[in-house]
């Protein structure tokens, strides 16, 4: 459905072709016209005039925000490149110190929400380096810019209304309300709509301050995870060792089996012990190629991904939480030939597979199930471990192979 704001934006784009720019750039003039329309709608939704006057007093169209929104990474980082920057020695050591320091508060949150404190500290570390950097872009300006822009206008218009509601309710001062370029706020980086749904006044001072109050930060994060479905008595996952000749097609992150059934297939914990004898299902993930770690993940892994829908992010959070309480690191290390892949590289893999007679589908630079299946078939034919993992290393193999 086209919103009134998007209709206004489209009209102004057409008008810009007819009216020469004066003073302000035409884009800024369009933005201010759109903003006038938006503020009228905000008044109708119950936002006070005084809140609107303060919130938009110095707001302009932020070209940097638009640039960041449109920026597509040229290369996709490998699991190892992501993980080694996320789970650093410093982040582990700092997390251990802060976990010990805030243990009484974290235990209170765990009692209330069921979420162990090590996970709360791990999310805190991943999101803002334990509160060290929460973003410096005024949230109202970034959200106004993104709501005005037609690309994702509907989503960010809703977030802008939510941000104004947070101000209207007096939880935070305008000058403190800064965040990421996309409007994520506070030490746990909640979007404004999640702030309204899940933020908690942990210190009971009448405000939900995710910038300056650690009780509010931890209770809010715990409440969020609980509402997302956190299973109180379960771990997030475990690193496992795969037997020789294992069918890597089962490592799709989708095929759920009981721990007993995975054990029958020869899986063990990474240190060689048998899998736990617990009545629970797990899925198998192989984030790198056959030389990297493998993980059995449980329902809480899915919950972590609802915070940030990325396997690499969820694996980093889970492992950081483990390291914070003194558990061992990964059993594998980054191979010397681990390289980032560009979209062009991925398309080249698909094109080469198709040329060699393996049906990878239309080359689009996205490694879906069809591409992985085709790559596994190629690997089987070449007597290579059939992990189906596209990589710079496999592209070299493909380029060296002739029909």
Q: What is the CATH number of the domain that holds 314?
A: 1.10.530.10
303 and 354 share a domain? no
Confidence band, pLDDT 50/70/90 cuts, at residue 165: very high
With a cut of 60, say whether residue 9 has pLDDT above it. Answer: no
- How does DSSP classify residue 176? G
Q: How confident is the model at residue 26 (pLDDT cuts 50, 70, 90)?
A: low
Q: Is the pLDDT of residue 83 over 60?
A: yes
Beta strands 294-297 and 281-285 are antiparallel
Per-residue confidence (pLDDT) for residue 21, from 0 to 100: 39
What are the φ and ψ backbone dihedral angles of 75, each rounded to 5 degrees? -120, 145
Chain-wide mean pLDDT for the chain? 92
Segments forming the whole domain that contains residue 287: 237-324
Q: Is the pLDDT of residue 201 over 90?
A: yes
Q: Both 37 and 149 in a single domain?
A: yes
Whether 314 and 248 map to the same domain: the answer is yes
Least-confidence region, from 9-18, 63-72, 87-96, 271-280: 9-18
Q: Is residue 275 part of a domain?
A: yes
pLDDT at 384: 95
| Contact status, residue 295 vs residue 285, Cβ threshold 8 Å | yes
320 and 241 in a common domain:
yes
The answer to whether residue 163 is domain-embedded is: yes
Among candidates 311, 290, 302, 263, which has minimal Cα distance to 82? 311
Asked if residue 231 belongs to a domain, the reply is no
Same domain, 251 and 304: yes
- Tell me, yes or no, whether 167 and 66 share the same domain: yes
CA 49 to chain centroid: 35
User: Is 128 part of any domain?
Assistant: no
State yes or no: pLDDT of 122 exceeds 90.
yes
Per-residue model confidence as pLDDT tens digits over 250-292: 999 999 999 999 999 999 999 999 999 999 999 999 999 999 9
User: Do 307 and 191 contact (CB within 8 A), yes or no?
Assistant: no
Q: Are residues 152 and 64 in the same domain?
A: yes
| 393 assigned to some structural domain | yes
Nearest to 212 by CA among 171, 184, 251, 180: 171
> Taking Cα atoms as reference points, which of 75, 81, 91, 18 lies closest to residue 319?
91
Looking at the structure, tell me whether residues 157 and 304 fall in a common domain.
no
The closest of 65, 49, 86 to 168, measured between CA atoms, is: 49
Mean pLDDT of the region 195-222? 96
Q: What integer is the mean pLDDT of 312-325?
A: 98
71 and 160 inside one domain: yes
pLDDT tens digits, one per residue of 306-316: 999 999 999 99
Q: What is the pLDDT of residue 73?
A: 75
Structural domain tally of the chain?
A: 3
- Is pLDDT above 60 for 6? no
- CB under 8 A, 24+ apart: contacts of 243-246: 243/267
DSSP 252: B
**Which of these three, 324, 355, 380, is where a domain ends?**
324
Calculate the alpha carbon distances from 8 to 46, 110, 344 in Å. 22, 48, 38
**Does residue 57 fall inside a structural domain?**
yes
Asked if residue 188 belongs to a domain, the reply is no
Q: What is the CATH number of the domain that holds 381?
A: 1.10.101
Band of residue 15 on the pLDDT scale cut at 50, 70, 90: very low
Domain co-membership, 300 together with 263: yes
For the ranges 162-166, 257-261, 365-369, which has the lowest average pLDDT? 365-369
Has this prediction a pTM greater than 0.75?
yes
| pLDDT confidence of residue 27 | 83
- Whether 392 is in a domain gets the answer yes
Helix, strand or coil, per DSSP, at residue 185 = strand
What is the chain's Cα-based Rg?
Answer: 25
The domain boundary, picked from 324, 356, 381, lies at 324
Last residue of a domain, one of 266, 293, 324: 324
Q: 243 and 315 share a domain? A: yes
Q: Are residues 11 and 155 in the same domain?
A: yes
What's the pLDDT score for residue 151?
92
């Amino acid at each position: 459905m086209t919103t009134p704001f998007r209709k206004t934006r489209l009209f102004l784009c057409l008008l810009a072709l007819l009216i020469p720019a004066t003073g302000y750039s035409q884009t800024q003039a369009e933005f201010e016209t759109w903003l006038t329309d938006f503020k009228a709608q905000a008044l109708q939704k119950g936002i006070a005039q005084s809140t609107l006057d303060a919130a938009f007093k110095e707001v302009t169209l932020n070209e940097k925000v638009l640039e960041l929104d449109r920026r597509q990474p040229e290369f996709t980082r490998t699991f190892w490149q992501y993980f080694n920057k996320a789970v650093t020695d410093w982040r582990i050591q700092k997390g251990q110190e802060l976990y010990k320091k805030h243990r009484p508060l974290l235990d209170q949150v765990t009692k209330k929400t069921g979420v162990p404190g090590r996970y709360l500290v791990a999310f805190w570390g991943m999101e803002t380096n334990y509160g060290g950097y929460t973003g410096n872009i005024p949230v109202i300006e970034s959200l106004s810019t993104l709501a005005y822009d037609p690309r994702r206008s509907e989503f960010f218009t809703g977030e802008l209304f939510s941000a104004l509601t947070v101000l209207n309710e007096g939880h935070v001062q305008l000058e403190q309300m800064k965040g990421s370029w996309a409007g994520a706020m506070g030490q746990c980086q909640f979007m404004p709509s999640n702030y309204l749904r899940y933020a908690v006044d942990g210190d009971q001072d009448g405000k939900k301050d995710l910038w300056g109050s650690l009780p509010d930060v931890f209770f809010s994060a715990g409440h969020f995870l609980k509402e997302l479905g956190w299973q109180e008595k379960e771990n997030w996952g475990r690193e496992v060792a795969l037997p020789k000749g294992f069918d890597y097609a089962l490592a799709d992150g989708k095929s759920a089996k009981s721990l007993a059934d995975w054990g029958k297939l020869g899986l063990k914990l990474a240190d060689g012990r048998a899998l736990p004898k617990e009545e629970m299902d797990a899925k198998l993930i192989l984030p790198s190629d056959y030389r990297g770690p493998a993980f059995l993940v449980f329902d809480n892994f899915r919950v972590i991904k609802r915070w940030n829908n990325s396997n690499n992010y969820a694996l980093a959070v889970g492992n950081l939480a483990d390291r914070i309480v003194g558990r061992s690191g990964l059993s594998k290390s980054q191979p010397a030939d681990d390289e980032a892949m560009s979209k062009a590289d991925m398309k080249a893999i698909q094109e080469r597979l198709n040329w060699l007679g393996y049906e990878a589908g239309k080359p689009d630079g996205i490694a879906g199930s069809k591409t992985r299946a085709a790559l596994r078939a190629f690997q089987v034919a070449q007597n290579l471990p059939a992990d189906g993992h596209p990589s710079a290393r496999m592209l070299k193999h493909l380029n060296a192979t002739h029909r």
